[in-house]
Structure 1
């Protein structure tokens, strides 16, 4: 096939037709044609030549040109597409390195193989352009709801026609045992859009908490307008859900607005989610108060929050225990997801028994270590003393408020506590040295002898070993595994070393060893402070 005046306009007509069919820019199709014709010309004139083709967007005329670049004689490699300044003088005056010489060459006669190759190039370019168009169309729609038609089902996964392409609703993203037939209408949440080798992949979900939030945004104008904000969502898809809402207008009840007149708004969401029961809860900055709301309809007697561990203890009356936990633990699980806290529920009787056990354990500690009778030890515990360090180093006045304790008795108590602690420290230090702990770790400021002993038992015996530890290895932490919070025990956790303390200790060790430049550390801290100030101002 030769590119003659008879078929020049056909190129543009073909480009327009393909562009309309694939919904892409006609210019991209013409560029693909130019590249395919250039490849065909290279197979005719030589693959080392730099041959380019330009198709006139109005007339369809294809112009074939050969381009040669002027290069330094020492860098000349390809004699077909490059030439030296001396060689270029016969084509141009005063040639400089980097100049190009363009000459028109005759159009090529395309044989069957060349035509087939050109067709493949065009198809490939068109496919790439179509994929780019689909990706660009959907990448900004991630996090929104889309309506589509079910095309087919493959191994439990639903393929959905979303207009400009196909999306996939995986079986684990479906609600319960939802079943769909071809041409059923379906509403889904666009969870992710990825650019992959085989084209853009659009992943849908009907179980994502964000799906429920977006549905409420569609049904409740106040949420769409920003008057009411959805602060948190927790779902057991197809069964039950909890959603926390906050109103920025004191005259608008966030719960009532989401429920709607006679429950019309929330019912529309429930119907879309296959009858999923929804608890709408007022959000509160105070976590214990928020948790009490989240555990509704159960009544809560007392809440004890442990900020450091991200854990909260909830005490409920005996008759409310099953309601607070819910069927198969559903109520407490959803409340935990909503608040982001690990919730431990106990009855009033269980809490009383635990407190009694703690009281007895502390009483026994003071009796054994300070050689006190039971009554005196109980007095110390009742006044809030929990360990020997508090007795040994507290201000004397705090001991004198205890009934029957005079100055001499208080001094004797502190002396006994200090003697015991010093003996414990010496024993721990001797044990650590026996395990081979280096003086660099023993003398490190911030570590007690008992801490050094605990580190030695875990294989940390030098300052270098200590500097390689992660903060969570020392202070402990929490990891989420399969949706459940799992406790990671820290080496120094029994000594109440916080995550921040562990970070400071490890960084100090690294500075002492010369692993970290103190100046860089100060600069990083200043940057972090500036960022916090900017965020606060924003």
Structure 2
């Protein structure tokens, strides 16, 4: 059947919507297929093929080729849409299960298609194509600044019109707190994600992420865009305060001054874009301790104690400077923690000194008692940073020789005494465990037997509280204990804790 009207519809839709003609042809074919299926009471399957040059189209009724199913009469679950393999092969010997057997049938006229059905199918296909086109166009732009006009506001979330029938979405949680917009306002944001979804927004924008701050400085400071200044990190309390770390790749440049700009013009432009957010520009430093000191500005740090294992730093500041170091609601130390990646603990310098002094005295006495050294040597060991017998035993000899007061003979003697002290301590601990006996309450606990109680005691689990402190995995090496029994034993041991808690609540 020929129909020039089809070619006209395809041209109009393709030009108006800027959609590939092939997509529109598929939409028309779908509409004709839907009309054909409707003619047969929605029981059959159909396929329509359009000649893209002439507008001619042919309609085929389709049957899926299946094996016979004994659960249904004639072996077919859907007789109007299925055909048995043997029957299909009588007409097409090469056909297989899963293929479709087709026969040409009379086509419905394009002009008589239910207008609403055709329109809905075509609009749906066109919308799908438009959405795919948007995703394709913006996927490579994730991480960029985009600007749009506020189109509508729903429950605190904002929809932006980016032009060309493209919308972007800023969720309420991605807005700067207390920031409000009106329809028609021009808004800039950071494109954080592009997702292909059948309905709803596809472009997701944020104004609260640290990445927006970085992107704005890249826009306002040419040296950043050119790579002469590198932004090493950023942290934000959106709408209130932010910190950004910068480093100069050109030694002739002052990275902080360049980002501040003449009379603060550059940083002020960024602040204005972020609803007045105060921005601290921090000089990045390769020394992590110095970087933390810079990040805590304007607070002045008196001393730092670094714990590499916990990846934390204890920062001592004067009493007068304590509130400034912490910031309102902990804001300053929280942003510095986020910026540097270190867990920062701020404390009063006088209290820190007292704590440090008490710990130093305790460590010094430990060295005197276990190494048999005098107070002078113990003091030197503490002052240079040793805080355990293990460190003295295993630190490289050359590092200890760097201590001015120590020679090789003394270092060897100290390391030997430290290793002896560790060995004696290990033997004592082992003997204590071997001779340990389970408490009476552990022996009498429901589900416990004597052999198990003694084996647990040999591992240092002597009382009910000791058992209650264990995790299931801790008991799996014990003879005759699987996960289920371990869990039951631990929960039984904890019953007393629960009873005590309920008594306190009562």
TM more than 0.5 = yes
Name the counterpart of 2:25. 30
Say whether 1:61 aligns with 2:69: no
Give the conservation status (yes or no) of the 8 Å contact 2:371–2:417: no
Q: How many angstroms does 1:288 deviate by? A: 0.7
Name the counterpart of 2:325. 324
Name the counterpart of 1:211. 212
Q: Distance in 2 between matches of 1:328 and 1:87?
A: 77
TM-score, normalising length from structure 1?
A: 0.68
Would the alpha carbon gap of residues 69 and 342 (structure 1) be closer, same or farther in structure 2, given more than 3 Å must change?
closer
Give the conservation status (yes or no) of the 8 Å contact 1:429–1:452: no
Name the counterpart of 2:233. 232
Give the conservation status (yes or no) of the 8 Å contact 1:437–1:461: no
Name the counterpart of 1:427. 432
Would the alpha carbon gap of residues 208 and 202 (structure 1) be closer, same or farther in structure 2, given more than 3 Å must change?
same
Greater shift, 25-34 or 424-433, is seen at 424-433
Give the conservation status (yes or no) of the 8 Å contact 1:40–1:110: no
Q: Deviations over 1:381-425 (max 9, x none)?
A: 653364566789999999x979xx9x9999999988865654444
Q: How many angstroms does 1:33 deviate by? A: 1.3
SS at match of 1:162: strand
SS at match of 1:58: coil
Give the conservation status (yes or no) of the 8 Å contact 1:160–1:166: yes
SS at match of 2:108: coil
Give the conservation status (yes or no) of the 8 Å contact 2:89–2:95: no
Unaligned runs of 5+ in 2: 443-451, 484-506
Name the counterpart of 2:7. 12
Q: Distance in 2 between matches of 1:40 and 1:377?
A: 100
Would the alpha carbon gap of residues 185 and 464 (structure 1) be closer, same or farther in structure 2, given more than 3 Å must change?
farther
Q: Distance in 2 between matches of 1:468 and 1:340?
A: 40
SS at match of 2:195: strand
Q: How many angstroms does 1:431 deviate by? A: 4.3
Would the alpha carbon gap of residues 409 and 118 (structure 1) be closer, same or farther in structure 2, given more than 3 Å must change?
closer
Unaligned runs of 5+ in 1: 443-448, 470-538
Would the alpha carbon gap of residues 430 and 149 (structure 1) be closer, same or farther in structure 2, given more than 3 Å must change?
farther
Indicate which of 451, 467, 470 corresponds to 1:458: 470
Name the counterpart of 1:246. 247
TM-score, normalising length from structure 2?
A: 0.72
Q: How many angstroms does 1:143 deviate by? A: 2.0
Q: How many angstroms does 1:31 deviate by? A: 0.4
Give the conservation status (yes or no) of the 8 Å contact 2:50–2:57: yes
Give the superposed CA RMSD.
4.7
Give the conservation status (yes or no) of the 8 Å contact 2:189–2:207: yes
Kindly tell me the number of residue pairs found equivalent between the two proteins: 447
Would the alpha carbon gap of residues 388 and 69 (structure 1) be closer, same or farther in structure 2, given more than 3 Å must change?
closer
Give the conservation status (yes or no) of the 8 Å contact 1:392–1:413: yes
SS at match of 1:233: strand
Q: How many angstroms does 1:57 deviate by? A: 2.4
Give the conservation status (yes or no) of the 8 Å contact 2:190–2:206: yes
**Superposed counterparts of 1:400-415, under 5 Å:** none
Q: Deviations over 1:325-352 (max 9, x none)?
A: 3344322222111101111223432232
Q: Deviations over 1:239-274 (max 9, x none)?
A: 221111223233333223323344332222122122
SS at match of 1:244: strand
Q: Deviations over 1:403-461 (max 9, x none)?
A: xx9x999999998886565444433444486664786997xxxxxx6699998541423
SS at match of 1:168: strand
Name the counterpart of 2:123. 123
Q: Deviations over 1:445-496 (max 9, x none)?
A: xxxx66999985414233279x999xxxxxxxxxxxxxxxxxxxxxxxxxxx
Q: Deviations over 1:57-116 (max 9, x none)?
A: 233222223567889999996797757688767x78xx4345988664332258988554
Q: Distance in 2 between matches of 1:423 and 1:330?
A: 49
Indicate which of 20, 40, 45 corresponds to 2:35: 40
Would the alpha carbon gap of residues 452 and 40 (structure 1) be closer, same or farther in structure 2, given more than 3 Å must change?
farther
Q: Distance in 2 between matches of 1:410 and 1:204?
A: 60
Q: Deviations over 1:173-226 (max 9, x none)?
A: 222422211111111112233334424443322121100111111122232233
Q: How many angstroms does 1:52 deviate by? A: 2.0
Q: Deviations over 1:304-338 (max 9, x none)?
A: 22122110122334444343333443222221111
Name the counterpart of 1:298. 299
Q: How many angstroms does 1:142 deviate by? A: 2.6
**Superposed counterparts of 1:144-159, under 5 Å:** 144-159=144-159
Q: How many angstroms does 1:45 deviate by? A: 5.3
Indicate which of 364, 381, 384 corresponds to 1:383: 381
Name the counterpart of 1:96. 94
Would the alpha carbon gap of residues 329 and 87 (structure 1) be closer, same or farther in structure 2, given more than 3 Å must change?
closer
Would the alpha carbon gap of residues 150 and 432 (structure 1) be closer, same or farther in structure 2, given more than 3 Å must change?
farther
Q: Distance in 2 between matches of 1:381 and 1:429?
A: 36
Q: Distance in 1 between matches of 2:48 and 2:152?
A: 44
SS at match of 1:126: helix
SS at match of 1:140: helix
Q: Distance in 2 between matches of 1:51 and 1:272?
A: 57
Name the counterpart of 1:473. none
SS at match of 1:383: helix
SS at match of 1:24: coil
Give the conservation status (yes or no) of the 8 Å contact 1:441–1:461: no
Q: How many angstroms does 1:28 deviate by? A: 1.2
Name the counterpart of 1:337. 338
Name the counterpart of 2:186. 185
Give the conservation status (yes or no) of the 8 Å contact 1:169–1:205: yes
SS at match of 1:167: strand
